[in-house]
Amino acid sequence: MQRIVTLTERKTAEAARRREAVVALVAVLAAYARTHGGRFLLYGSAARGTMKYDSDVDLLVDFPEDTLGEAWNFAETACWDRNLAPDLMPYGWCKKTFVDHIAPDLQVVE
Amino acid sequence: MSDARWFEINAAVTAAVRHFAGACTIFEKIPATVTQEDRYLVEMAFMHAMLAGQTSLEAALIRILDLTGEEAPTGARWHADLITRAAHPVGERPAILLGDAARAADETRRFRSISADAYDAFDHTQATKAVASASLLVTLLPSEIVRFREATDP
């Protein structure tokens, strides 16, 4: 009899894949940050290790103004290459209330 | 005779210039706008004008790709791929956007992403580089499209 993969099983597998992909992503981002004089800040479910099957990767990009765009594009591409959905913002643009809200989860990647 | 589809392309370019120029004007009003209600109005108007500018720019680029028989990028990263593609020659098609114009379009593309995903989380007054890029596109975009048209459809 043909085995049927249930939606719950598919979602569970995809969530696990995303969590593993984030581990690999963080290593790549850290290497970039170390060599380019900046840092990334991971927050939300990706930082907590609680990603679901449809979770995106919440990242703040903290680099000097002249290299910010390049760092953004690197992080964006690194996410897409791992079939992850990036949600990026420059750290310097954040409202204080927003930073306070995400502070408990914040994982510095450098 | 020139291809009739330039009519729609020129309309999209005109719309992009209009919206980006409007965004620059609105941006200047943000710091002096004090009351909460007025601040909400100008911030939303600014974001929408930037988004409309980028959407119009993308519409122009997609129509140009169609004109040259080139498939438009698809998938999750299509907004970024479209700007990258436009900035490079493909086959016998020259680059649509060169140098500063291509870099500015990528900057406004990144702002598009912030507007769409993080609209409540950021301080709009920090968007100076995106606004400078929008201003640059107001100046450069029409001449870039004219250059491309003269090269491909003289």
Cβ–Cβ below 8 Å for A93 and B77: no
Assess contact for A89 and B114: CB atoms under 8 A: yes
pLDDT score recorded for residue B120:
81
- A37 within some domain: yes
pLDDT tens column, B2-30: 899 999 999 999 999 999 999 999 999 99
At residue B138 the predicted structure's pLDDT band, cuts being 50, 70 and 90, is very high
- Residue A61 inside a domain? The answer is yes
Number of domains within chain A? 1
Contact residues of B toward A, CB < 8 A: 76-77, 80, 103, 106-107, 110, 113-114, 117-118, 120-123, 126-127, 129
Nearest-CB residue to B110 (from A69, A80, A98): A69
Range of the domain at A73: 7-109
Asked whether the predicted pLDDT for residue A107 surpasses 80, the reply is yes
CATH number, domain of A43, equals: 3.30.460.10
- Tens of pLDDT, residue by residue over B92-120, are 999 999 999 999 999 999 999 998 887 78
> How far is the CA of B64 from the CAs of A4, B80, B96, B133, B153, in angstroms?
46, 16, 8, 22, 11
Per residue in A57-102, pLDDT tens?
Answer: 999 999 999 999 999 999 999 999 999 999 999 999 999 999 999 9
Amino acid letter, residue B30: I
**Stated pTM of the model:** 0.93
Decide: residue A90, CB within 10 A, 0-12 exposed, 13-18 middle, 19+ buried: buried
Nearest-neighbour CA in chain A from B152: distance (Å): 30
Residue at A2 is within a domain: no
Are the C-beta atoms of residues A69 and A6 closer than 8 Å to each other? no
The shortest CB-CB distance from A94 to any of B103, B117, B121 is to: B121
Q: How far is CA B70 from CA B61, B65, B126, B137, in A?
A: 11, 5, 37, 24
All structural domains of chain B, each given as residue ranges with its CATH number in brackets, are 6-152 (1.20.120)
In a domain, A28, yes or no: yes
